[in-house]
Structure 1
Amino acid sequence: MMQLRESTKKSLRLLNNAKVVSDETCKKLLDDCFSVLGGGEELHANASLFGSKPDLVKELYANLLIATAEFVRNGASDEDVRQYLLEECNVGQARSDLYSKLYSVHKLGVEITLLNIGSHPPHVVDVDWKIDFVVKSNSLDQCGGPIFRIGFTMEKFDEGMGCKKTEYLNFTCNSQEMQDLVYKLKDAVRHCQRMSTDL
Protein backbone atom coordinates (compact mmCIF):
# COMPACT_ATOMS: atom_id res chain seq x y z
CA MET A 1 0.00 0.00 0.00
CA MET A 2 1.41 3.36 -0.98
CA GLN A 3 2.07 5.87 1.76
CA LEU A 4 3.32 9.42 1.46
CA ARG A 5 5.00 11.47 4.19
CA GLU A 6 2.77 13.84 6.11
CA SER A 7 4.77 16.82 4.81
CA THR A 8 4.07 15.70 1.22
CA LYS A 9 0.35 15.25 1.91
CA LYS A 10 0.21 18.67 3.55
CA SER A 11 1.93 20.27 0.56
CA LEU A 12 -0.46 18.59 -1.90
CA ARG A 13 -3.36 20.27 -0.08
CA LEU A 14 -2.09 23.52 -1.64
CA LEU A 15 -3.80 22.31 -4.82
CA ASN A 16 -7.07 23.35 -3.12
CA ASN A 17 -5.91 26.95 -2.62
CA ALA A 18 -7.00 28.88 -5.74
CA LYS A 19 -5.15 32.00 -4.46
CA VAL A 20 -1.84 30.11 -4.64
CA VAL A 21 -2.55 27.77 -7.56
CA SER A 22 -5.01 28.85 -10.24
CA ASP A 23 -6.56 26.26 -12.58
CA GLU A 24 -4.11 27.27 -15.32
CA THR A 25 -1.11 27.06 -12.98
CA CYS A 26 -2.27 23.67 -11.69
CA LYS A 27 -2.49 22.29 -15.23
CA LYS A 28 0.98 23.65 -16.10
CA LEU A 29 2.53 22.25 -12.90
CA LEU A 30 1.09 18.81 -13.64
CA ASP A 31 2.23 18.98 -17.28
CA ASP A 32 5.76 19.82 -16.12
CA CYS A 33 5.71 17.13 -13.44
CA PHE A 34 4.75 14.33 -15.83
CA SER A 35 7.07 15.62 -18.55
CA VAL A 36 10.11 15.71 -16.25
CA LEU A 37 9.39 12.31 -14.70
CA GLY A 38 8.83 10.90 -18.18
CA GLY A 39 12.37 11.89 -19.17
CA GLY A 40 11.52 15.16 -20.91
CA GLU A 41 11.98 18.80 -19.99
CA GLU A 42 9.74 21.28 -18.24
CA LEU A 43 7.18 22.55 -20.72
CA HIS A 44 6.47 25.92 -19.09
CA ALA A 45 8.74 28.73 -17.92
CA ASN A 46 9.07 28.61 -14.15
CA ALA A 47 8.57 32.36 -13.75
CA SER A 48 5.09 32.12 -15.26
CA LEU A 49 4.03 29.52 -12.69
CA PHE A 50 5.13 30.94 -9.37
CA GLY A 51 3.05 34.13 -9.21
CA SER A 52 2.92 35.93 -5.87
CA LYS A 53 3.71 32.83 -3.75
CA PRO A 54 6.84 31.35 -5.39
CA ASP A 55 7.99 29.39 -2.31
CA LEU A 56 4.66 27.62 -1.92
CA VAL A 57 4.39 26.79 -5.61
CA LYS A 58 7.97 25.44 -5.70
CA GLU A 59 7.21 23.32 -2.61
CA LEU A 60 4.04 21.99 -4.23
CA TYR A 61 5.89 21.18 -7.46
CA ALA A 62 8.63 19.28 -5.59
CA ASN A 63 6.01 17.27 -3.70
CA LEU A 64 4.06 16.55 -6.89
CA LEU A 65 7.26 15.01 -8.27
CA ILE A 66 7.74 12.95 -5.10
CA ALA A 67 4.11 11.78 -4.97
CA THR A 68 4.00 10.88 -8.67
CA ALA A 69 7.21 8.86 -8.48
CA GLU A 70 5.87 7.01 -5.41
CA PHE A 71 2.52 6.27 -7.06
CA VAL A 72 4.22 4.84 -10.14
CA ARG A 73 6.81 2.95 -8.08
CA ASN A 74 4.00 1.26 -6.14
CA GLY A 75 2.06 0.40 -9.31
CA ALA A 76 -1.01 2.41 -8.30
CA SER A 77 -3.88 2.62 -10.78
CA ASP A 78 -5.36 5.97 -11.76
CA GLU A 79 -8.43 5.19 -9.59
CA ASP A 80 -6.19 4.35 -6.60
CA VAL A 81 -4.39 7.66 -7.07
CA ARG A 82 -7.63 9.62 -7.36
CA GLN A 83 -9.00 8.03 -4.17
CA TYR A 84 -5.71 8.62 -2.33
CA LEU A 85 -5.66 12.29 -3.27
CA LEU A 86 -9.30 12.72 -2.23
CA GLU A 87 -9.18 10.78 1.04
CA GLU A 88 -5.60 11.00 2.31
CA CYS A 89 -4.53 14.39 0.96
CA ASN A 90 -7.93 16.17 0.96
CA VAL A 91 -7.41 17.40 -2.61
CA GLY A 92 -10.63 18.60 -4.24
CA GLN A 93 -12.61 16.49 -6.72
CA ALA A 94 -11.82 18.48 -9.88
CA ARG A 95 -8.05 18.56 -9.33
CA SER A 96 -7.93 14.93 -8.19
CA ASP A 97 -9.74 13.99 -11.40
CA LEU A 98 -7.33 16.09 -13.50
CA TYR A 99 -4.29 14.53 -11.81
CA SER A 100 -5.58 10.95 -12.21
CA LYS A 101 -6.42 11.57 -15.89
CA LEU A 102 -2.87 12.81 -16.60
CA TYR A 103 -1.44 10.00 -14.44
CA SER A 104 -3.27 7.43 -16.56
CA VAL A 105 -1.85 8.91 -19.77
CA HIS A 106 1.75 9.29 -18.55
CA LYS A 107 2.16 6.38 -16.12
CA LEU A 108 3.99 4.08 -18.54
CA GLY A 109 6.46 6.79 -19.56
CA VAL A 110 7.27 7.58 -15.94
CA GLU A 111 7.62 3.88 -15.13
CA ILE A 112 10.09 3.41 -18.00
CA THR A 113 12.13 6.39 -16.80
CA LEU A 114 12.19 5.10 -13.22
CA LEU A 115 13.18 1.60 -14.37
CA ASN A 116 16.08 3.01 -16.35
CA ILE A 117 17.58 5.36 -13.75
CA GLY A 118 21.36 5.25 -13.89
CA SER A 119 23.02 3.27 -16.63
CA HIS A 120 20.00 1.02 -17.10
CA PRO A 121 20.67 -1.30 -14.17
CA PRO A 122 18.27 -4.17 -13.59
CA HIS A 123 16.19 -3.99 -10.40
CA VAL A 124 16.13 -6.95 -8.01
CA VAL A 125 12.51 -8.06 -7.54
CA ASP A 126 13.02 -11.46 -5.84
CA VAL A 127 15.70 -13.55 -4.14
CA ASP A 128 15.96 -17.33 -3.77
CA TRP A 129 18.57 -19.00 -1.61
CA LYS A 130 19.71 -22.41 -0.45
CA ILE A 131 22.42 -23.57 1.94
CA ASP A 132 24.56 -26.61 1.18
CA PHE A 133 27.09 -28.11 3.60
CA VAL A 134 30.41 -29.61 2.53
CA VAL A 135 30.70 -32.90 4.41
CA LYS A 136 33.73 -34.31 2.67
CA SER A 137 35.94 -33.05 -0.11
CA ASN A 138 38.92 -34.51 -1.98
CA SER A 139 40.33 -31.00 -2.41
CA LEU A 140 42.86 -29.82 0.17
CA ASP A 141 42.05 -26.14 -0.39
CA GLN A 142 38.32 -26.71 0.22
CA CYS A 143 37.32 -25.42 3.63
CA GLY A 144 34.42 -26.92 5.53
CA GLY A 145 31.27 -24.99 6.22
CA PRO A 146 28.16 -23.87 4.43
CA ILE A 147 27.99 -22.92 0.77
CA PHE A 148 25.27 -20.39 -0.04
CA ARG A 149 23.49 -20.57 -3.41
CA ILE A 150 21.88 -17.23 -4.16
CA GLY A 151 19.57 -16.44 -7.07
CA PHE A 152 18.41 -12.90 -7.91
CA THR A 153 15.40 -12.33 -10.15
CA MET A 154 15.82 -8.93 -11.79
CA GLU A 155 13.60 -6.73 -13.91
CA LYS A 156 14.86 -4.37 -16.60
CA PHE A 157 13.13 -2.37 -19.29
CA ASP A 158 14.25 -3.50 -22.73
CA GLU A 159 14.09 -0.44 -24.96
CA GLY A 160 14.39 -2.50 -28.14
CA MET A 161 11.39 -4.68 -27.31
CA GLY A 162 9.52 -1.90 -25.52
CA CYS A 163 8.65 -3.99 -22.47
CA LYS A 164 9.96 -5.28 -19.15
CA LYS A 165 12.38 -8.19 -19.30
CA THR A 166 13.23 -10.62 -16.51
CA GLU A 167 16.84 -11.62 -15.95
CA TYR A 168 18.38 -14.08 -13.49
CA LEU A 169 21.69 -13.94 -11.66
CA ASN A 170 22.87 -17.02 -9.77
CA PHE A 171 26.05 -17.37 -7.72
CA THR A 172 27.54 -19.31 -4.81
CA CYS A 173 29.57 -18.01 -1.90
CA ASN A 174 31.10 -19.22 1.34
CA SER A 175 30.37 -17.84 4.84
CA GLN A 176 32.95 -15.07 4.64
CA GLU A 177 31.74 -13.89 1.23
CA MET A 178 28.13 -14.02 2.45
CA GLN A 179 28.97 -11.88 5.49
CA ASP A 180 30.71 -9.40 3.21
CA LEU A 181 27.65 -9.25 0.91
CA VAL A 182 25.27 -8.71 3.85
CA TYR A 183 27.52 -5.97 5.28
CA LYS A 184 27.62 -4.14 1.93
CA LEU A 185 23.83 -4.40 1.52
CA LYS A 186 23.26 -3.02 5.03
CA ASP A 187 25.70 -0.20 4.29
CA ALA A 188 23.79 0.64 1.09
CA VAL A 189 20.47 0.66 2.97
CA ARG A 190 21.90 3.01 5.63
CA HIS A 191 23.20 5.30 2.89
CA CYS A 192 19.79 5.39 1.15
CA GLN A 193 17.99 6.08 4.44
CA ARG A 194 20.40 8.93 5.19
CA MET A 195 19.77 10.42 1.75
CA SER A 196 15.97 10.15 2.11
CA THR A 197 15.98 11.92 5.49
CA ASP A 198 18.05 14.76 4.02
CA LEU A 199 15.40 15.50 1.37
Structure 2
Amino acid sequence: MELSESVQRGLQLAAEPSSVDHRGFQALVDSCFRSLLSSQGDPAVLDEPELKHVDRIQLKQVHSAATTFILEAVKQDADKSAVSSSLEELSFSTERIEIFYSSYQKHKKELERLLASIGRSPARINDVSWRLQYNTKNGQLDKVNEPSYLISLNTENQGTSEDISFTCTTEQLQDLVGKLKDAAKSVEKASQM
Protein backbone atom coordinates (compact mmCIF):
# COMPACT_ATOMS: atom_id res chain seq x y z
CA MET A 1 0.00 0.00 0.00
CA GLU A 2 1.16 3.49 -0.82
CA LEU A 3 1.02 5.70 2.27
CA SER A 4 1.99 9.32 2.76
CA GLU A 5 4.92 10.22 5.01
CA SER A 6 2.64 11.59 7.73
CA VAL A 7 0.62 8.37 7.80
CA GLN A 8 3.82 6.33 7.95
CA ARG A 9 5.16 8.46 10.83
CA GLY A 10 1.89 8.10 12.75
CA LEU A 11 1.87 4.34 12.28
CA GLN A 12 5.51 4.08 13.34
CA LEU A 13 4.55 5.86 16.57
CA ALA A 14 1.78 3.28 17.06
CA ALA A 15 4.31 0.49 16.58
CA GLU A 16 6.54 1.76 19.41
CA PRO A 17 5.70 0.26 22.83
CA SER A 18 7.28 3.36 24.43
CA SER A 19 4.63 5.54 22.75
CA VAL A 20 1.59 3.26 23.09
CA ASP A 21 1.72 0.28 25.47
CA HIS A 22 -0.04 -3.05 24.81
CA ARG A 23 -3.35 -2.16 26.53
CA GLY A 24 -3.28 1.29 24.99
CA PHE A 25 -2.72 -0.18 21.52
CA GLN A 26 -5.80 -2.41 21.78
CA ALA A 27 -7.86 0.58 22.98
CA LEU A 28 -6.46 2.70 20.14
CA VAL A 29 -7.36 0.14 17.47
CA ASP A 30 -10.86 -0.23 18.92
CA SER A 31 -11.34 3.56 18.98
CA CYS A 32 -10.20 3.85 15.35
CA PHE A 33 -12.79 1.37 14.14
CA ARG A 34 -15.44 2.86 16.43
CA SER A 35 -14.82 6.36 15.08
CA LEU A 36 -15.05 5.13 11.48
CA LEU A 37 -18.26 3.22 12.04
CA SER A 38 -19.98 5.79 14.24
CA SER A 39 -22.77 7.70 12.51
CA GLN A 40 -21.98 10.84 14.52
CA GLY A 41 -18.50 12.05 15.36
CA ASP A 42 -17.77 11.23 18.99
CA PRO A 43 -15.40 13.86 20.44
CA ALA A 44 -14.60 11.52 23.35
CA VAL A 45 -13.44 8.64 21.13
CA LEU A 46 -9.84 9.02 22.36
CA ASP A 47 -10.74 9.52 26.04
CA GLU A 48 -10.22 5.88 26.97
CA PRO A 49 -8.49 5.31 30.35
CA GLU A 50 -5.85 3.14 28.62
CA LEU A 51 -4.85 6.12 26.45
CA LYS A 52 -4.55 8.76 29.21
CA HIS A 53 -0.76 8.39 29.47
CA VAL A 54 -0.18 8.90 25.71
CA ASP A 55 0.77 12.41 24.59
CA ARG A 56 -2.42 13.99 23.13
CA ILE A 57 -0.70 15.32 19.99
CA GLN A 58 0.90 11.94 19.28
CA LEU A 59 -2.39 10.20 20.02
CA LYS A 60 -4.24 12.30 17.46
CA GLN A 61 -1.47 11.73 14.91
CA VAL A 62 -1.54 7.96 15.50
CA HIS A 63 -5.37 7.87 15.37
CA SER A 64 -5.43 9.80 12.11
CA ALA A 65 -2.75 7.59 10.56
CA ALA A 66 -4.42 4.36 11.69
CA THR A 67 -7.86 5.35 10.39
CA THR A 68 -6.31 6.39 7.08
CA PHE A 69 -4.53 3.04 6.86
CA ILE A 70 -7.76 1.18 7.69
CA LEU A 71 -9.73 2.98 4.99
CA GLU A 72 -6.96 2.46 2.42
CA ALA A 73 -6.79 -1.25 3.26
CA VAL A 74 -10.58 -1.63 2.93
CA LYS A 75 -10.59 0.37 -0.31
CA GLN A 76 -7.93 -1.92 -1.79
CA ASP A 77 -9.58 -5.05 -0.36
CA ALA A 78 -6.29 -5.91 1.34
CA ASP A 79 -5.88 -9.45 2.63
CA LYS A 80 -3.89 -10.59 5.65
CA SER A 81 -0.58 -10.74 3.81
CA ALA A 82 -0.95 -7.21 2.40
CA VAL A 83 -1.92 -5.74 5.78
CA SER A 84 0.81 -7.69 7.58
CA SER A 85 3.58 -6.77 5.15
CA SER A 86 2.60 -3.09 5.22
CA LEU A 87 2.63 -3.04 9.02
CA GLU A 88 5.87 -5.06 9.20
CA GLU A 89 7.58 -2.43 7.04
CA LEU A 90 6.55 0.13 9.67
CA SER A 91 8.17 -1.90 12.51
CA PHE A 92 4.98 -3.41 13.98
CA SER A 93 5.50 -6.49 16.16
CA THR A 94 3.75 -9.72 15.22
CA GLU A 95 1.49 -9.36 18.26
CA ARG A 96 0.37 -5.85 17.26
CA ILE A 97 -0.22 -6.98 13.68
CA GLU A 98 -2.49 -9.77 14.98
CA ILE A 99 -4.42 -7.33 17.19
CA PHE A 100 -4.87 -4.94 14.28
CA TYR A 101 -5.77 -7.59 11.72
CA SER A 102 -8.35 -9.31 13.94
CA SER A 103 -10.19 -5.98 14.37
CA TYR A 104 -9.79 -5.24 10.66
CA GLN A 105 -11.25 -8.60 9.69
CA LYS A 106 -14.10 -8.19 12.20
CA HIS A 107 -15.17 -4.77 10.83
CA LYS A 108 -14.14 -5.03 7.17
CA LYS A 109 -17.60 -5.85 5.76
CA GLU A 110 -19.22 -2.95 7.65
CA LEU A 111 -16.56 -0.55 6.38
CA GLU A 112 -17.00 -1.83 2.80
CA ARG A 113 -20.73 -1.11 3.02
CA LEU A 114 -20.01 2.33 4.48
CA LEU A 115 -17.56 3.22 1.71
CA ALA A 116 -19.96 1.91 -0.94
CA SER A 117 -22.77 4.09 0.42
CA ILE A 118 -20.78 7.30 0.11
CA GLY A 119 -21.63 7.75 -3.54
CA ARG A 120 -21.88 6.08 -6.88
CA SER A 121 -21.03 8.83 -9.30
CA PRO A 122 -17.92 10.96 -8.95
CA ALA A 123 -18.27 14.69 -8.55
CA ARG A 124 -17.42 16.93 -11.50
CA ILE A 125 -14.70 19.50 -10.88
CA ASN A 126 -15.80 22.97 -11.98
CA ASP A 127 -12.90 25.06 -10.75
CA VAL A 128 -9.57 24.74 -8.97
CA SER A 129 -7.82 27.34 -6.85
CA TRP A 130 -4.58 27.04 -4.96
CA ARG A 131 -2.40 28.95 -2.56
CA LEU A 132 1.23 28.47 -1.57
CA GLN A 133 1.89 28.42 2.17
CA TYR A 134 5.37 28.50 3.61
CA ASN A 135 5.65 27.10 7.12
CA THR A 136 8.65 28.47 8.96
CA LYS A 137 7.78 27.17 12.44
CA ASN A 138 5.46 24.77 14.17
CA GLY A 139 4.66 23.92 17.77
CA GLN A 140 7.14 21.05 17.99
CA LEU A 141 10.16 22.25 16.01
CA ASP A 142 11.91 25.60 15.99
CA LYS A 143 12.31 25.71 12.22
CA VAL A 144 10.43 23.77 9.58
CA ASN A 145 11.01 25.83 6.42
CA GLU A 146 8.83 23.79 4.13
CA PRO A 147 6.29 24.88 1.54
CA SER A 148 2.83 23.40 1.29
CA TYR A 149 -0.04 24.01 -1.08
CA LEU A 150 -3.65 24.60 -0.13
CA ILE A 151 -5.75 23.22 -3.01
CA SER A 152 -9.47 23.95 -3.26
CA LEU A 153 -11.66 22.08 -5.75
CA ASN A 154 -15.10 23.44 -6.55
CA THR A 155 -17.13 20.36 -7.39
CA GLU A 156 -20.68 19.60 -8.49
CA ASN A 157 -22.49 16.34 -7.84
CA GLN A 158 -26.17 15.84 -8.68
CA GLY A 159 -26.78 19.60 -8.79
CA THR A 160 -25.08 20.28 -5.45
CA SER A 161 -21.97 22.46 -5.37
CA GLU A 162 -19.28 21.73 -2.80
CA ASP A 163 -15.75 22.94 -2.10
CA ILE A 164 -13.18 20.28 -1.26
CA SER A 165 -9.97 21.61 0.25
CA PHE A 166 -6.77 19.79 1.12
CA THR A 167 -3.13 20.56 1.81
CA CYS A 168 -0.21 18.80 0.19
CA THR A 169 3.55 19.00 -0.02
CA THR A 170 5.46 19.74 -3.22
CA GLU A 171 6.08 16.01 -3.79
CA GLN A 172 2.42 15.14 -3.23
CA LEU A 173 1.34 17.89 -5.64
CA GLN A 174 3.78 16.64 -8.29
CA ASP A 175 2.42 13.12 -7.80
CA LEU A 176 -1.17 14.40 -8.16
CA VAL A 177 -0.33 16.31 -11.36
CA GLY A 178 1.41 13.22 -12.78
CA LYS A 179 -1.60 11.03 -12.04
CA LEU A 180 -3.97 13.59 -13.58
CA LYS A 181 -1.85 13.67 -16.75
CA ASP A 182 -1.92 9.86 -16.89
CA ALA A 183 -5.71 9.90 -16.48
CA ALA A 184 -6.08 12.50 -19.24
CA LYS A 185 -3.97 10.33 -21.58
CA SER A 186 -6.08 7.28 -20.78
CA VAL A 187 -9.31 9.15 -21.47
CA GLU A 188 -7.87 10.46 -24.75
CA LYS A 189 -6.81 6.96 -25.84
CA ALA A 190 -10.22 5.53 -24.92
CA SER A 191 -12.04 8.22 -26.90
CA GLN A 192 -9.97 7.46 -30.05
CA MET A 193 -11.01 3.79 -30.11
Match of 1:195 among 159, 165, 172: 165
Gaps of 5+ in 2: 129-150, 155-163, 170-193
- Give the alignment of 1:110-125 within 5 angstroms: 110-117=111-118, 121-123=119-121
Gaps of 5+ in 1: 125-180
The one-character-per-residue Cα deviations of 1:81-116 (angstroms, maximum 9, x if unpaired) are: 1111112x2222211121112111111111111222
8 Å CA contact retained: 1:115, 1:123: no
- Give the alignment of 1:103-142 within 5 angstroms: 103-117=104-118, 121-123=119-121
Q: In the aligned structure 1, how far is the partner of 2:84 from the partner of 2:121?
A: 28
Give 2:91's aligned residue: 90
Quote the sequence identity (%): 21
Shift of 1:190: 6.4
- Change over 3 Å in CA distance of 1:53–1:190 after alignment to 2: closer
8 Å CA contact retained: 1:82, 1:99: no
TM superposition outliers: structure 1 runs of 4+ over 3 Å: 39-45, 184-190
Q: In the aligned structure 1, how far is the partner of 2:48 from the partner of 2:27?
A: 12
TM-score by length of 1: 0.58
- Change over 3 Å in CA distance of 1:40–1:50 after alignment to 2: farther
- Change over 3 Å in CA distance of 1:82–1:40 after alignment to 2: farther
Shift of 1:123: 4.2
Q: In the aligned structure 2, how far is the partner of 1:10 from the partner of 1:45?
A: 19
Give 2:22's aligned residue: 23
The one-character-per-residue Cα deviations of 1:36-72 (angstroms, maximum 9, x if unpaired) are: 2223576966152241512111110111111111111
- Change over 3 Å in CA distance of 1:47–1:30 after alignment to 2: closer
Aligned-residue CA RMSD in angstroms?
A: 3.1
Give 1:60's aligned residue: 62
Q: SS at the partner of 2:70?
A: helix
Q: In the aligned structure 2, how far is the partner of 1:77 from the partner of 1:186?
A: 37
Q: Say how many residue pairs are matched.
A: 136
8 Å CA contact retained: 1:14, 1:60: yes
2:49 is equivalent to residue 79 of structure 1: no
